[in-house]
Amino acid sequence: QDRGFSLRTYWIGLFATFAADLAIELPLLQTDLYQYYSYGETPMTIVRFPIYWLFINTTGPLLCAAILYAVPGYFTGWRRGLLVLLPVVADASCSIAVGLPVYTVLHTEAVGAAGRWFGALVTCFIGLVLLDAFGRWILHRREQLELLGAQPARVAADSDA
C-alpha cells in the first residue's frame, strides 16, 4: 500500500492546519491582545475569530510548499537566495488574492451585513479553489516524477548538487 501523497491526505493535513490555527488564535483572542474589526459586525465569527481567516492564513504557506515541491531545482546556484523571499511573496500574494473581497467590504462603511457576508463567502470560495489547485498541482507533479521513475524526495536532494 502506497502511503504517499494523495488528495485525501492533503485535505486531512489541511484540516489539521485549520485546527492548529484555531488552537492558537481562539485563546489569544480571548486575552484581547488583538482583535479582528470591521464596520458593523464581522461576519462568520466564532468566539471572536472570523472563519474566513483560515483560508487567508493557509494559502500562502501551501503555495510556498507547492512551489518548492514542484520546482526544487529552480532554487539552486544564485537563485538559492530567492528562498528567503519565497515565503513572504507567497504569503502576501495569497493574502491579497484570497482576502481582497472580504477586506474590501469590511472596510467600506456603506456595506451592510449581507454585503459583508457575501465578501466573506467569496473569500472562502477563492481560498478553497486555490487550496484545491495547490493540492492537485503537487499530486500532478508527484505523478510526473513517478512516471519518470524518480522519487520526489530524491529529485529535491539531487537538485542541490
The number of angstroms, rounded, from the C-alpha of 48 to the middle of its chain's C-alpha atoms is: 21
pLDDT digits (tens, 9 = 90+) for 99-150: 999 999 999 889 999 999 999 999 999 999 999 999 999 999 888 877 887 6
The lowest-confidence range among 15-24, 38-47, 89-98, 114-123 is 38-47
- How many CA atoms lie less than 13 Å away from 102 in the CB half-sphere? 29
State the pLDDT at residue 161. 45
- Pairing between β-strand 45-46 and β-strand 49-50 as defined by DSSP bridges: antiparallel
pLDDT greater than 60 at residue 155? no
49, β-bridge pairs: 46
Question: Mean pLDDT of all residues in the chain?
Answer: 88
Percent of the chain with pLDDT over 90: 70
Q: What is the pLDDT of residues 22-31, one digit of tens each?
A: 999 999 999 9
- CA 19 – CA 22 distance, rounded (Å): 5
Alpha-carbon separation of residue 22 from 16, 32, 48 (angstroms): 10, 16, 11
Give the tens place of pLDDT for each residue, 57-89. Answer: 999 999 999 999 888 789 999 999 999 999 999
Please list, in sequence order, all residues whose beta carbon lies within 8 angstroms of the beta carbon of residue 90, skipping any fewer than 6 positions away: 60, 61, 63, 64, 67
pLDDT at residue 65 in the model: 92
The answer for residues whose C-beta is within 8 angstroms of residue 16's C-beta and 6 or more apart is none
The number of CA neighbours under 13 Å toward the Cβ of 160 is 5
Q: Find the mean pLDDT for residues 30-48.
A: 87
**Span 23-45, average pLDDT:** 88
